[in-house]
Structures are given as C-alpha cells and as structure tokens.
Amino acid sequence: MGWGLDTGRDVASRGWNIQNKRTTGGVKPVAPRKTCNRMSMIAARPPRLAGLAALLPAICAALSFSVTDILLKVVYASGMDVLTLVSLRGILVVVFFFGWLRVAPPARRHPPRQRRIALALGLLFAMVMLGLVASVSMLPVSIAILAYFIYPLLTGIGAALTGVERLGWRALLTALTAFAGLALMLGVNLAALAPLGLAFAFGAAICRVISLLATRAYLSGTDARLTTWYAMLPSTALFLVLWIVFGAWNPPQTAAGWVAFTVVSACSTLSTLLIYVSTNTVGPFRTALAMNLEPLVTALLSVWLLGEVLTAVQLIGAGVMIASLCAFQFVRGR
C-alpha cells in the first residue's frame, strides 16, 4: 500500500492524531530513502583497495615464510643443526607468548576441549617443523618448498573427503594437473635428489593438512595468540627431548648465523599468527590462495640469492603446479 511513502497530507487524511504524527515523524521520506540508497551503494561496491587490504595478512605471511625458507640455508651454513634450531626457537617463542598473554590477556580463554585440541595440534606442528627444516637441509630450497607446498591441494581433497566441502570434476582436474606439474619438477633429475628429503617434505605436508582441517573444524574464532602458545608447549617439549637424546648444542658459529636465526624465529612466528588472522578475515580458501605465493617467491629468491639452478623443464613443472593450485582454489570457492 506504500505506507512507507506517505506524506504529511496522506497521514492527516487518514485521521491519525498529532501524537502519531510525531512518532511516525511527519518525517519526510526523502532523507531516509537517500540514506538507504547510499548505504546500499557502499555495500554493493566495496573498494578494490579494501579487498587488497583484507588479503594483506595472508600475502605478508607468504612473503615472511619465503624469507624463512631462504635464511634457513644461512643458519645451517653457520653450523646450527635442525634440532638446536627448533628447540631454541621453541623456547624463545613460548617465553615471548607467555609474556604477551600476561600483558594483554585474551578476551576469552579456550574451553577444556579446545585446549586439548590445541595441545594435540602442537605435536602435528612439531612434525611439520621437523619435516620441513630437515627437507631444506637435504634438498635445494626451491625443490623442498615446492614439494611441501602440495598441502593446499591435499587440504582441499581432505576437506571434500571429510564432507567439509564438495569437490567437483573441475577441482579433480586441477588436482591431477598439479600432480603432473610436481612430477615434472621432480622427475627430471630425481636420482640426484635425496629420497629422505622428499619424504620429509611430503610428511610435513600431510601433517599440515591434518592440522588445518582440525583447526577449521574445532578452533574457529579462538584467540590466535593463545592457540599458538598452547601448540608451542608440547612441540617445544618434544624438540627438547629429541635434542637431549639425539642432539648436541650446535648454535650458529658466526654473527650472520645468529642474525639469520633471529629473523627465522621472528618471521616463522609472525607468519603463523597472520595465517590465523587471515583465515578469520577472508576465510581459509582465499588465505590458501594467497599463500601460493610462498613457493614461487622462494624459488625465485633461491635462484637469485643462493645461486641454485632450475632447469627449463623444472621451471615449467613449477609453473604448472602453482597455476593449478591457484585454479584449484578458485574452483573450490564456487
């Protein structure tokens, strides 16, 4: 009947009293309509810069991980081994987060069930860290990271198999294409690659997939700092036990090695936090899409800074794999 567009004369003609006019306004309908139109226009046309800003945490996480990947070689070259690195890093991170949480307590603490899940994820995090740093110590950085970075693809397949999301034929096609790209990248000179290094990289990827699926299912909306701290407790304890039983104290022997170790610890921790932030902001799929920058940037930096060499076929395989991973994310989002 168009009541929302009644004028003052229409209201009077219906016999409404003055009080009703005051409460309904005798208000001119033009101003609210203009305001609503402006609001709808703003909602319908979000600025591009706002979209890019929302992706910045994931992009920064990818770049930060790339810096970590490259500097790991510097750390190892300075005499530091894997167990010493992850143990000392774990101690520093646990102390840092303990102080941060004391100064700025979380708004809501984890319930007992979520706390147990976060502690269990810490063991998976330990497996990821050990597998990744071990693979980097045995393989060229570019190959280790690209092999490990099959995890976004496996995460999508795992989500589909567990019923988190449907997986259509286009997604399966991009999955097969990505595996073909990985085969090209590794198959050219497979005999020259350390099989144990590849096993560590793929094992780390599988642990990462399980961790992501469990986090998405059980820890949504929790404080990322508290989750990280809970996860670091068992992982650091495991690293320390392994270091005491099997390792020796092998810190960096050069000033450059200590600087690289400090940057690795800061960047890897920052990346973990930013991934949680990005997942809560733009969702896990767009976050994984932005994280596909990591292997590409790592491969380019390893060629430029470390003098590593990728053959033409390996470059084609890497390009096919990364393009397929990106396409896979787009397909999953539809």
Compute the residue count for the chain: 334
Half-sphere exposure for 322 (CA within 13 Å, toward CB): 21
d(CA 155, CA 175) in angstroms, rounded, equals 11
pTM (2 d.p.):
0.70
d(CA 50, CA 38): 18
Report the C-alpha gap between 58 and 277 in whole angstroms.
8
Residue type, 193: L
pLDDT in tens, the chain (334 residues): 433 334 443 444 444 444 444 444 444 444 444 444 333 332 333 344 445 677 788 889 989 988 988 898 889 899 998 889 889 999 999 999 999 999 999 888 899 999 999 999 899 988 988 888 788 778 877 678 778 878 877 877 887 787 766 666 776 677 778 778 877 776 655 566 788 888 999 999 999 888 878 887 888 778 888 888 898 899 999 999 988 898 788 999 999 999 999 999 999 888 888 887 777 677 666 777 778 778 778 777 878 887 777 778 878 887 887 787 777 666 655 5
DSSP track, 156-178: HHHHHHTTSS---HHHHHHHHHH
SS (H, E, C) 298-310: HHHHHHHHCCCCC
